[in-house]
């Protein structure tokens, strides 16, 4: 097996979707190239297809891959929501590969239609709560402001944050966001989620020493093991997730690509429980 089975697959449990889009990035472009890099890293002979709890992800009946969409800036929200909705309508949980973080808003919109009363766990260096960043309300720095303003999540917990400023702190308080900065990252290990859970994993939540292949280097982040510890500690019905902001143009050795594939594997392991 060197590629995922295509969608539709009657016996599949996890639908895969790549959103090759980075036009709402505010600094370096390149994350549109990430979906294929994550797929290739997953199958890289450097590792194997087993998770740390010894789940074999090469088994039949796990994945159905809807491939990548490459939307324009104008059409991204509608196309992304529609593509994810098709997977949810087929009874699948959804694992998406971005792309910049603006893709999360339409991905969550699709999830909520089939899983109301949603909670979100957001891994990131940045809160992404700007009201209108650089005159772009759809910036990758704003998706969680749009999500909360739209009433799409009953709860939003953010972990790994280390760049919050005055405006975003006000936004967090106004929108009822639980921000666990890096000083408090371990607090998430005690949090219980009593509703369907969506996980959004921005690769820059990790310290650049572990994941240099991102557009925004912010020292002082989570180690790969610390992030995995949070994921593996979750006891929740995880119905959807995304891995975003991997930038292959900043990752010539594919180190960060392999880390993204590892995060993907462990997220799927929890989604299958």
Q: Which helix (H) or strand (E) holds 111?
A: helix 104-114
Quote the CA–CA distance of 243 and 39 in Å, as a whole number: 12
Which residue has tokens 């997977």? Answer: 87
Beta bridge partners of residue 120, listed in sequence order: 156, 198
Per-residue model confidence as pLDDT tens digits over 143-157: 999 999 999 999 999
Quote the CA–CA distance of 58 and 268 in Å, as a whole number: 12
Determine the average pLDDT of the residues in 96-101.
98
Query: In whole numbers, what is the pLDDT of the chain averaged over residues?
Result: 97
% of the chain exceeding 90 in pLDDT: 98
Per-residue confidence (pLDDT) for residue 134, from 0 to 100:
87
If you classify domain 14-271 with CATH, what class do you get? alpha beta
Per-residue confidence (pLDDT) for residue 179, from 0 to 100:
98
Per-residue confidence (pLDDT) for residue 177, from 0 to 100:
98
Per-residue confidence (pLDDT) for residue 224, from 0 to 100:
98
State the Rg of the chain over Cα: 17
Per-residue model confidence as pLDDT tens digits over 163-185: 999 999 999 999 999 999 999 99
Per-residue confidence (pLDDT) for residue 100, from 0 to 100:
98
Per-residue confidence (pLDDT) for residue 10, from 0 to 100:
87
Per-residue confidence (pLDDT) for residue 104, from 0 to 100:
98
Per-residue confidence (pLDDT) for residue 272, from 0 to 100:
98
Q: Is the pLDDT of residue 82 over 70?
A: yes
Q: Is the pLDDT of residue 2 over 90?
A: no
Per-residue model confidence as pLDDT tens digits over 195-220: 999 999 999 999 999 999 999 999 99
Residue 189 has φ and ψ, to the nearest 5°, of -65, -20
Per-residue confidence (pLDDT) for residue 40, from 0 to 100:
97
Per-residue model confidence as pLDDT tens digits over 16-66: 999 999 999 998 999 999 999 999 999 999 999 999 999 999 999 999 999
Per-residue confidence (pLDDT) for residue 55, from 0 to 100:
98
Q: Is the pLDDT of residue 1 over 70?
A: no
pTM as predicted? 0.97
Which two three-digit tokens encode residue 109? 């919109």
CB-side neighbour CA atoms (13 Å) of 181: 9
The residue ranges of every structural domain in the chain are 14-271
Q: Is the pLDDT of residue 6 over 70?
A: yes
């Amino acid at each position: 097996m060197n590629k995922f089975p295509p969608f539709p697959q009657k016996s599949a449990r996890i639908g895969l979707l790549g959103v090759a889009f980075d036009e709402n990035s505010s600094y370096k472009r390149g994350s549109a190239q990430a979906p294929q890099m994550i797929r290739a890293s997953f199958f890289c002979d450097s590792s194997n297809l087993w998770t740390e709890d010894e789940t074999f992800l090469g088994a039949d009946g796990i994945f159905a891959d809807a491939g990548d969409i490459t939307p324009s800036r104008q059409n991204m929200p509608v196309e992304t929501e529609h593509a994810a909705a098709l997977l949810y309508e087929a009874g699948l949980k959804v694992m998406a590969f971005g792309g910049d973080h603006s893709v999360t808003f339409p991905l969550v919109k699709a999830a909520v239609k089939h899983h109301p009363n949603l909670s979100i766990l957001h891994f990131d260096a940045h809160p992404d709560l700007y009201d209108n960043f650089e005159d772009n309300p759809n910036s990758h720095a704003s998706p969680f402001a749009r999500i909360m303003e739209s009433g799409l999540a009953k709860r939003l917990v953010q972990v790994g944050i280390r760049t919050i400023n005055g405006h975003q702190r006000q936004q967090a308080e106004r929108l009822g966001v639980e921000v666990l900065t890096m000083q408090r990252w371990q607090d998430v290990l005690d949090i219980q989620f009593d509703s369907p859970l969506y996980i959004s994993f921005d690769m820059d939540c990790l310290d650049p020493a572990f994941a240099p292949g991102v557009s925004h280097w912010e020292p002082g982040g989570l180690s790969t093991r610390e992030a995995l510890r949070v994921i593996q500690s979750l006891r929740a019905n995880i119905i959807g997730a995304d891995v975003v902001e991997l930038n292959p143009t900043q990752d010539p050795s594919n180190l960060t690509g392999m880390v993204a594939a590892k995060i993907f594997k462990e997220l799927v392991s929890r989604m299958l429980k």
